């Protein structure tokens, strides 16, 4: 079954809006795992506007499933990941001032840089996933950089799902088939939610992991965290 990794950045956003430690990011991570999630994802940015580097350090000793750290592998991020040694690092080409991730890597143009980063993380035994658009050439490029997995950037799928879900999923199936062909693991994330998640994994059942944050935490405001995690897990079965 596809694993659910919950991105807890939005919980940190609420905490940071008032200072102090309410809500408690670490407690939320423990509860989310207790409710059945198979991983915790964090995406620290240099400005510390949500998850902070110190949060990541504390999560390392707390997470009992898999910790996935995602972000742009600038020097400070790279140093953090090599210090913490999570189960997985996801390389995302987001600009420092980006509100959220908005594109995948051009794995051909950035092959030399990405290959170097993959080698650095592999030296610590960290699984490496590269965030890509649903383009088979970019998937193959990730393989040639030495990555273990790709994460498909699913914003376009989510945006177009209600208009024509067959058309929306088509490029993702092609990219996922390329990942399968060249022996890469497959993750997916960005704007997946309770409306569109089940169809995605139905059409691409070899998806290893989905990383979901904004929609899940938003749903939890209405449904509660335990109920929400349960509903997302049900979509993956």
Helix, strand, coil percentages in the chain from 3-state DSSP, rounded to 5? 45, 15, 40
Catalytic residue among 33, 43, 50, 178: 43
Distance CA 151, CA 92 (A): 9
33, 66, 70, 151: the active-site residue: 70
Task: Judge whether 50 and 13 are in contact, CB under 8 Å.
Answer: yes
**Is residue 190 flagged as an active site residue?**
yes
* 122 catalytic per annotation: no
Specify the length of the chain in residues.
Answer: 237
For residue 156, CA distances in Å to 25, 27, 74, 81 come to: 30, 33, 26, 29
Choosing from 33, 66, 178, 190, the catalytic residue is 190
43 is catalytic: yes
Q: How many CB atoms lie within 10 A of CB 12?
A: 21
Active site residues: 43, 70, 190
């Amino acid at each position: 079954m596809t694993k659910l990794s919950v991105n807890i950045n939005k919980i940190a956003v609420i905490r940071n809006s008032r200072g102090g430690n309410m809500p408690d990011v670490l407690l939320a991570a423990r509860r989310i795992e207790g409710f059945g999630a198979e991983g915790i994802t964090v995406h620290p940015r240099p400005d510390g506007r949500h998850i902070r580097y110190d949060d990541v350090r504390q999560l390392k000793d707390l997470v009992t499933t898999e910790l996935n750290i995602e972000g742009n592998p600038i020097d400070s991020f790279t140093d953090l990941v090599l210090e913490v040694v999570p189960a997985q690092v996801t390389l995302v080409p987001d600009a420092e001032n980006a509100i959220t991730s908005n594109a995948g890597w051009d794995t051909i143009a950035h092959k030399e840089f990405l290959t170097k980063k993959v080698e650095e993380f592999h030296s610590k035994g960290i699984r490496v996933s590269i965030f890509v658009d649903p383009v088979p050439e970019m998937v193959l490029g990730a393989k040639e950089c030495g990555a273990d997995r790709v994460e498909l950037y699913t914003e376009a799928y989510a945006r177009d799902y209600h208009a024509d879900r067959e058309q929306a999923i088509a490029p993702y199936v092609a990219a996922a088939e390329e990942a399968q062909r060249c022996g890469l693991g497959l993750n997916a994330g960005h704007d997946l939610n309770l409306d569109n998640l089940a169809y995605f994994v139905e059409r691409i059942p070899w998806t290893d992991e989905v990383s979901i944050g904004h929609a899940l935490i938003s749903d939890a405001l209405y449904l509660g965290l335990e109920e929400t995690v349960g509903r997302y897990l049900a979509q993956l079965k």
